[in-house]
Structure 1
C-alpha cells in the first residue's frame, strides 16, 4: 500500500521548495570598495611589467627528449638484439634450409600475391623495398601472436612451433639479412620501434 500523504499540521514541517522565478542573489560582503581595489592594483602591475622588461635574458632550455639517433640503444632494443643473436646462433633447421633456398623472384611473387588479396593498394608503403613490406605485413598479422618485445625471428619460430603456418618467405628475408645479406638486420617489429 502506498504511504499516505500528510495534510494539515505536518505539512508545515516539510522542507521548503526552491524558487527559480525570483531574482534573489546571495553575495559575499566585500571588504573594500571596488574602485579602491583597482587603484591599489595599478602600481603593482606597472612594477611587475617594468621588472619583466628589464630582464630580457631567458635561461636556456634543455631538450626534453634525446634525439632519435642517440648512440645509446633503448632497453627493448638490447633485449631484442640478444634474442636475435641467440636464434641465429642455433644450428640450421630444415625450415632454415628451405628459407635460404627462396629466391628474390619468389619473394616478389609472394608479395604480389599478398597485394592481390587486398582491395586497395598500400599507398603508405611506396618508398619501401619488398623485404621490408613482407616484414611489416608479418608484424601486423595478429594470427602469429604479439610482435611487441620479441624479435621477428623468434616470433616466426614460435608461430611455427605452434603450427600457425607462418610464411616461409618471412624467415627467408630474416635469415638472408641476418647472415650478411643486403642490409642491417631488422630485428624488431616496426610497431615495436614506434611504441618505444
Structure 2
C-alpha cells in the first residue's frame, strides 16, 4: 500500500500495466456490471442540467428511460449511479459505426460544447475509489475477461495503470498528488531493480 495524504493506493496501481484497447473490448465497461457508474451528487446535478445538450446522441429507449425515471438513480451498494437499460448499457452510452460503445456526455465534451467530461468513476476505471470517513482507498479492479486486452496492451507498451490514468487522477486529486504518486512509483521501481 502507498499512503499519500489521506489516500491509500494499492501497489497494483503502480505495478500493473494497462491501456484501454477499445478495438478489442468495444467499450464493454459501459455495458457490463451490476449497476450504472457511481456518481457524486454534484455530478448527478450536472448530468441532469447538461442532459439536453447530449440527449441527441442517446437511443430513443435511453431517452424514454431518463425522461420517465430521471437522469440518475440510487443503488443500495454504490449510492447514486447512472441509470442503465435493463441492467445493461448505461443510458448515456451509444454504439458508434464500429460497434464501440461511446459516452454521449464525453462526445459533447470533445466537441467543446460542455466542460464536464464524464463521471470521475468512469474516467478513472479500472481504478475504483472507496471513500471512508478519514481516507480514500484506490484499488486496481479491471474486469477479469473484458480487460484482458487492455492489460496485454499496457504490458506491451510498458505503461503503468497510474500513468495511463494521469488525467483523471489529476482531475480528482490534483497535480501535487500525481507528482507524489509518480515519485513513489519511480522509487519502488528503483528498489526492485536493486533487489
TM-score of the superposed pair, with normalisation by structure 1: 0.23
Between structures 1 and 2, the one with greater strand share: 2
Between structures 1 and 2, the one with greater helix share: 1
Q: Looking at both structures, which has the greater relative contact order when contacts are Cα pairs under 8 Å and sequence separation is at least 6? A: 2
